[in-house]
Amino acid sequence: MPKYPPVYAGTAVTAAFLESMLPIIETKTATESVTNSITMQNDDQLFAAVEANATYSVDLHLFYDAATAADITFGWSGPSGAAMTWGMIGAQVNVTSSGTVPDVTMQTRIISEVQDLGGGASTGTYAWVHGTLTTAGTAGNLNLRWAQRALSATATNVRAGSQLSLKRTA
């Protein structure tokens, strides 16, 4: 199984070499709110710089809350030419409680597609997203993008503690 970076006999162990082995982890330190907006926006903290011509395993632990009428829509953007296949497990649209959720979804998406999720009250709801990002010849940022699914005067929040992690695999 190939590993990144490749370690060959005689490889000089430098700080930069060791750092290239570490995952990129971005943790949201403050809750971010959107009210009365279905316009997708980049999250203020859940983004990561990615290199050109690279492959990453991506995980997102998303803590959020939304009025049932608003729910949440989220997706991704990346550098020019980037491709991403991703899926998620989370509450179905119009779920009215952040307690036991009767249904989950695991659909495969590409980087340009979005996913709608149901939301719970201010006690919060959780979704797990996993995917593979492959960049082309351009470096840049992988950005979590989100908005309310439907306009609502009640805020939709991506909560502090949400975490985006990327591990370079090639």
pLDDT tens readout for residues 131-161: 999 999 999 999 999 999 999 998 999 999 9
pLDDT tens readout for residues 59-112: 999 999 887 778 899 999 999 999 999 998 888 787 655 556 555 666 788 999
Domains of the chain listed by start with CATH number = 23-168 (2.60.120)
Q: N- to C-terminal Cα distance for the chain?
A: 11
The span from the CA of 118 to the CA of 125, in Å, is 9
pTM above 0.75, yes or no: yes
Strand (E) or helix (H) holding 16: helix 15-19
Strands (DSSP E) along the chain, which ranges?
Answer: 24-27, 32-34, 41-50, 55-65, 72-77, 83-89, 109-110, 114-117, 125-134, 140-147, 156-158, 163-168
